[in-house]
Structure 1
Amino acid sequence: MDDKIKYIQSLTGSLKDFSFEFEAKSNDEYFNKLKSLAVSKFSLEAHTLKSKPTPRRGQLWLIKPTYEDYFINRVESDMPFIVLIVEANDTLENELFSRVQPVSIFTDFVAGDDFVVNDPSLIGFPFLVETWNEQPVLNEILDYSLGSFDIDQHISFKGNVDLTEQKAAFRKMEVNNTAFLRHSVLSYLKFLEERQTEDTGIIIRINQHIVKPAFFVDEIKYDTHYAYAAKTGIDNSNKYFEWEEKLALGNIKIRIKRNIEDFILSVYSDIEFVLRSSDNKVLAGSKAEGRMIFTMLNPGLYYLESVSTKSLIKIRIK
């Protein structure tokens, strides 16, 4: 098992000191197979259903290798992740998330509270379900559905589990290495805590810098928390968020106003921009009084792209 632990560490650059020595056995047939699977992203094309059904309990999903979190940071994994959904489609302020258990090809580390699925028809090889590593993920980072099975047929021991030193080390590394998964939800929770008002948050990312537009009510800027606006009874007044900056190409001002169910984005600038949605669709806007206006925008991630330089201003609206 030591060679496999060494290999798991090498996948993520998370080499840590443990109380036993490692000897990587590069000529081990099984070890080389694991490496081959990881390098080729598990070669799942033959087993992957190219669709995105509604997530359900008992489904296996391949996670997106990269995603942009709620603060528009690009998050990348060092290795592919497959997860088993155990609770699907919970909501937190209209954002869907599911509880998942990571899947591992390292079945040698099975313990009394795990279970192994030996049917290779699901994803091409037997796998271990890490029942002790359950965590939430936003549904938006679920990439492809790979199949499903009846979880209830696999009953795990839930009492105290005696772990060998190697199995304990494996679990410690897996919890650390799967932070990529739960970060999607943790980032969202932090966004909700730090948003500008009780019901709205706006994040702008430009040139690797994150900006939170100022909150205005009837042309008056409020630097304090949204609670001030709520306590003074002005929640229903003319509210908007505004950010202004001098760029190398020219000046720009972005104003975002919330309607009851959608948003209006106004761009004041001599620079010509196009607005794209997160799925790369160009959104139609209208020109009026020196600004471009984009209406009926749903909460989400948008890309304001300069026509001349293709540089991006990323905008998160929620």
Structure 2
Amino acid sequence: MIHDHIKSLGLQGLAVHAGDPAIFEMQAPGDTDSGWEGVQYGRVIYDLLIQDDADRKVSGSLRVMAAYTDIDMLPPAVRKLQEAFDTTFFTDGEEGLTIATTWQKSEPVNVKIGGGTDMEVFGTILYFDVYAFPAKRYVPMDAVASLAAYIRSRCPDVWVINDGMIEDGNPVWKPGTSVPESAVYVRLEQITPGSFPSTHACTWYTARLWVHVISASYDIANQILTDISYALSEAERFPMDDGSPFFIGQMQIGQGNSPLRDGQMQVQGQYGILREMQDTQPMNIINMNEGRG
């Protein structure tokens, strides 16, 4: 995904290797590699690292380096790369994972290479934070998928990230410039035993969910949050997978929260799961004899 996205930018002045623009993951081929066709600069090298993060502070990092021997070619390439990866979402449908990249900082890198005649290379490394949005399903009943489905029914013009790939099949999405213009993601923070008393037939659980609304416009994001919160407040519930209710006990909106890292709306409530009935042994036949007087 990352390679294809960089290639689609049409960066000027890139060298050619094996018939393609010089865009490489991790490292470039050596100077004597037969794939080089003429000059070996400019080039772009990227490195994507995704890691588990229980606190969801940052899920990984992306580094992209652009390097040219012509210093005039570097600034426009850096501007394109920063714009292309700042608040941009990439979805891998097979892996069931969406990631978002946000620009953090850029650093210049200038080196001299060569033997008898040194050649100066001018470069910039762009650093991006990466946030993961996995399309996880939780069993036996999925409060995340159920709330995502409810939001989808209320906001049909919004991309629900939990669904995976956008309907048009485009793996790259950027708020405000792509269709649809806004997106929503639902994630699970925790599940604990419910406060409702469980019975022989049903076990109750409490789930705390977070709703992320991503939009290029603060006003649009706020309107989506308002629509969802009003609907949930009025209904006081939403349907689970099997049609049973998820009872909403608490809901709050944190406008100052990061839509990528934290989510702006917390929804907490309870739902019941029917217990699997165990087969019982048939009752033995009881003979009753009448007493004689």
| TM-score bracket for the superposition, by shorter chain length | under 0.3
TM-score by length of 2: 0.26
Judging by fraction of residues, say which structure has more helix. 1
Higher CA-based Rg: 2
